[in-house]
Homo-oligomer: A and B are copies of this chain.
Amino acid sequence: MLSSVTLREVADEAGVHYSTASRALNPATRSIVNAKTAKKVLAAAERLGYRPHPLARGLRTNRTLTIGMAVPDLLNPVFPQLYAGAEASLRDQGYWLLVGAGDDCGTPKSASRILIDQHVDGLIVANAHIHSTLPQNPTNQTAPTVLVNRTTDTIDAPSVACDDHAGIGLVVRHLVELGHTDIAHIAGPQFISNGVIRRQAFVAWMHSSGLETPPELIVETDGFHIDEGRRACERLLDSGARFTAIVGANDLMALGCYDVLAERGIRVPHDVSVTGFDDMAYIDRVHPAMTTVSVPFYEMGALAGEVMLTLLTSEDSGAGTLPTSTRLRPHLEVRDSTAPPAVS
């Protein structure tokens, strides 16, 4: 289906051999052919509406102009933002972004599928297990990879993420300034870098504020979802531990806290303050509007795309790849879910 116009037809139209047409059409080799001939070929191509066949070209050049992006969950509004940013910067350079969604952060399965079965030129990974290895083909070769929003211990690849440590600092300081001392943390899964880093940051900032972090006030979850937040909040309340604020490791889990607290008649922020992380879309419209750490996801995605592009060109030029790790500055959005602790 859809047989488009081929290079030979362009060449015939222009009255030259198709190899000449090929060179004329390719900006990199255009200088080889006579300027007049090139002009003729370009005109013919324009007239016929020639578009190079992407498969044929890819087969020959071994480049598909396609980048794969592995995300855990498109329904979390954070990832469409990441996607949009990356897509914008890649499209500028003629690249396509192919998204593969799948929750399997543990295995590099989805990434591997996208990498091998689609022959992408590079991979932007947003769902890395903290100990995951790079997806490889059986001959142990790999493709240029950029980690975004997540990092790993084990992969030596450039990453673009948020300065989670600073972000947690923002909320902890905010709560401390409000007068809170008994602060709980709903930690993310400890097999994902964000979960680990935010947890460690929470402990560090609490201690540097002279506050305790008793183990019963830190609850770990198995995923950054609303349900996990619910379960964690229930565990927290059922433990009987006293606290006046909850620092959620992301917005969705904080939303889960909202639900459980409401069910039990605990008012936010009057009885308990709640903070999130991400500043996902529409989180400023929930009730009460959530105080959270705003992460520039679009910019993060755009930057990841640019890093990918430099990776691709440096690979072409044979220069040694220089994995850089960038962390973007978040900022605090103070809304209505935080207040001074009630005097008891």
Binding site for B on A (CB under 8 A): 1-5, 48-49, 51, 53-56, 58-59, 62, 64, 66, 74-75, 77, 80-81, 83-84, 87, 96, 98-99, 101, 115-119, 121, 137-139, 141-144, 255, 258, 281-283, 285-288, 315
* Minimum CB–CB distance for A313 against chain B, Å: 13
Minimal Cβ-Cβ distance residue in B for A143: B2
Would you call A49 and B138 a contact (CB within 8 A)? yes
Would you call B64 and A75 a contact (CB within 8 A)? no
Minimal Cβ-Cβ distance residue in B for A62: B1
- Contact for A84 among B59, B101, B286, CB less than 8 A: B101
Would you call B56 and A59 a contact (CB within 8 A)? yes
How many Å lie between the Cα of A143 and that of B3 in the bound state? 10
Would you call A1 and B141 a contact (CB within 8 A)? yes
- Contact for A139 among B3, B53, B80, B96, CB less than 8 A: B3
Chain B residues within an 8 Å CB radius of A1: 62, 121, 141, 143-144, 315
- Could you show 6 A-B contacts with beta carbons less than 8 Å apart? A1-B121, A1-B143, A54-B119, A55-B58, A55-B64, A285-B287
Chain B residues within an 8 Å CB radius of A75: 77, 80-81, 84, 281
